[in-house]
Amino acid sequence: MKQKIAAVAFVFCALSSFAHAQVRAGTVEISPSVGYLFGGDFPRGSNALFTNRVDVDDHLTYGVGIGYFLTSSTEFEARWARTETQFVNHRSNQVFGPDQDQKLADLTIDYFMGYGTFHFGHRRAVPYVTVGLGAARLDPGRLTAAGCPTAPCPVPSTSTRFTAALGGGVKIYANPHFGFRFDGRYYGTYLNSRDRCDVFSDGRTFCSNSDRTNWLGNLETTGGLVISF
């Protein structure tokens, strides 16, 4: 009986030590991930390709991050994510005529972000929140016939825009050096500022002196690995 009690106590102590050993100051973590990006839209007047609002198709996303723990709960992380999606004319957007859900042009989005990530607890499952700043590289492809029905067509060009992000999730550690990560985050990308104009039914246009700021908003959900050393 004493041997059984001693064995149980040993296992309990080992598990307790393991549970508190997941996140350590000075730890480096590499976290590849894959998931889905809900694309959002480009408002009217926010880009040089389309005069009306266009949607960004929901699409697969992937990326990788590398983080360094300044303390046992605070991590600085650099992260890159890519989505190879397209401009589309969804059913909610009627401006391109009767044919709906048409591809208008390719669009590749690369996010280059720096995050401050704050963890809660040091056990097997560690929830966290993350706040980031960085840039989005927007690389459109050549317009399709639906995107440019009459010539001449505008020539796409790559642009880089300021981006902020906010997210959260949980890391689940199988051991101190390996685990899984599940999170969601919202990207807000600044596109441009322009005069606030309204077009009336009789064709008249009225523009005020106040600016309208256009943003691209994306929601990303991902899962991946955590490799710690």
pLDDT per residue as tens, the chain (229 positions): 545 444 434 433 444 444 444 567 899 999 999 999 999 999 988 988 988 899 999 999 999 999 999 999 999 999 999 999 999 987 544 454 545 678 999 999 999 999 999 999 888 999 999 999 999 999 999 999 888 888 888 989 999 999 999 999 999 999 999 999 999 999 999 999 865 555 555 555 555 555 678 999 999 999 999 999 9
Domain hosting residue 147, numbered range: 2-228
Q: How much is the pTM? A: 0.82
Distance CA 184, CA 81 (A): 13
The domain tally of the chain equals 1
| DSSP bridge pairs for 81 | 63, 111
Torsion sign over Cα 184, 187, 81, 90: positive
CATH code for the domain in which residue 68 is found: 2.40.160.20
pLDDT value of position 24: 79
Count Cβ neighbours within 10 Å for each residue of 92-105 and write b for 16 or more, e otherwise.
ebeebeeeeebbbb
Q: What is the pLDDT of residue 210?
A: 54
Q: Report yes or no: 133 and 76 within 8 Å, Cβ to Cβ.
A: no
